[in-house]
A and B are shown apart, each in its own frame.
Chain A
Amino acid sequence: MPSDLESELFVFVLATFVGFEVIRRVSPLLHTPLMSLTNAISAISLVGSIVITGAEKSQLSTILGTIAVVCSTANVVGGFLITDRMLKMFKKREPGK
Chain B
Amino acid sequence: MIETYFIQFAYIVAAALFILSLKWLSHPTTARRGVTVGELGMALAIAGTLVHHEIVSYRWILVGFVLGAAIGIPLAVFMPMTHVPQRTALSHALGALAAALVGTAEYYLHTEELSAFTMAALGLEVILGYLTFTGSLMAFGKLQDLLPGRPIVYKGQNATNLSLLAVAVAIGVYLVLDPGRSELFPLLAVLSLAFGVLLIIPIGGADMPTVISLLNSYAGLSAAAMGFVLDNKLLIVAGALDGSSGFILSVIMCRAMNRSFTNVLFGGFGQVQAGVAQATDKSVRSVSPEEAAAILEAAGSVIIVPGYGMAVAQAQHKVRELYDALTRRGIDVKFAIHPVAGRMPGHMNVLLAEADIPYDRLVEMEEINPEFPRTDGVLVIGANDVTNPAARHDTASPIYGMPILDVDRARTVMVIKRSMSPGFAGIDNELYYMDKTMMLFGDAKSVVGDLVKELSGTPAGV
Q: Interface on A for B, CB 8 Å cutoff? A: 1, 4-5, 7-8, 11-12, 15-16, 18-20, 22-58, 60-62, 64-94
7 of the cross-chain contacts (CB-CB < 8 Å) are: A32-B88, A51-B54, A56-B57, A57-B109, A64-B102, A79-B72, A92-B358
9 nearest A-B residue pairs (beta carbon): A73-B68, A69-B64, A31-B346, A54-B55, A78-B72, A19-B244, A42-B242, A74-B72, A81-B76
Measured CA separation A44–B63 after assembly (Å) = 18
* Interface size classification for chain B: 35 or more
Contacts A26-B26, A65-B102, A69-B64; is A91 near B359 (CB within 8 Å)? Answer: yes
Contacts A30-B28, A39-B88; is A75 near B94 (CB within 8 Å)? Answer: yes
Measured CA separation A30–B92 after assembly (Å) = 18
- Residue B220 is within 8 A (CB to CB) of chain A in the complex: yes
- Residue B158 is within 8 A (CB to CB) of chain A in the complex: no
Given contacts A35-B245, A86-B84, 7 further A-B contacts (CB under 8 A): A28-B337, A33-B346, A34-B249, A35-B212, A51-B52, A81-B77, A89-B353
A-B pair number, CB within 8 angstroms: 364
Q: Which of B23, B31, B223, B243 has the most CB of A within 10 A?
A: B31
Interchain CB contact under 8 A, A74 and B223: no
Which of B232-240, B293-301, B404-412 interfaces with chain A?
Answer: B232-240
Interchain CB contact under 8 A, A32 and B245: no
Contacts A18-B19, A32-B347, A45-B95; is A73 near B241 (CB within 8 Å)? Answer: no
Shortest distance between the CB of B80 and any CB in chain A (Å): 11
Q: Which residues of B contact A58 (CB under 8 A)?
A: 108-109
Selected contact of A79 from candidates B46, B91, B248, B350, CB within 8 Å: B91
Contact indicator per residue, chain B 91-119, by CB within 8 Å of chain A (1) or not (0): 11011011101101110110000010100
Shortest distance between the CB of B156 and any CB in chain A (Å): 34
Q: Which residues of A contact B55 (CB under 8 A)?
A: 50-51, 54-55
- Residue B162 is within 8 A (CB to CB) of chain A in the complex: no
Q: Which residues of A contact B77 (CB under 8 A)?
A: 81-82, 85
- Residue B18 is within 8 A (CB to CB) of chain A in the complex: yes
Shortest distance between the CB of A34 and any CB in chain B (Å): 6
Selected contact of A68 from candidates B39, B97, B216, B228, CB within 8 Å: B97
Q: Which residues of B contact A76 (CB under 8 A)?
A: 42, 68, 72
Q: Which of B52, B69, B98, B219 has the most CB of A within 10 A?
A: B98
Contacts A46-B46, A80-B38; is A91 near B356 (CB within 8 Å)? Answer: yes
Measured CA separation A24–B23 after assembly (Å) = 10
Q: B201-235: which residues lie under 8 A (CB-CB) from chain A? A: 212-213, 216, 219-220, 223-224, 226-228, 230-235
Measured CA separation A51–B361 after assembly (Å) = 48
Interchain CB contact under 8 A, A31 and B345: yes
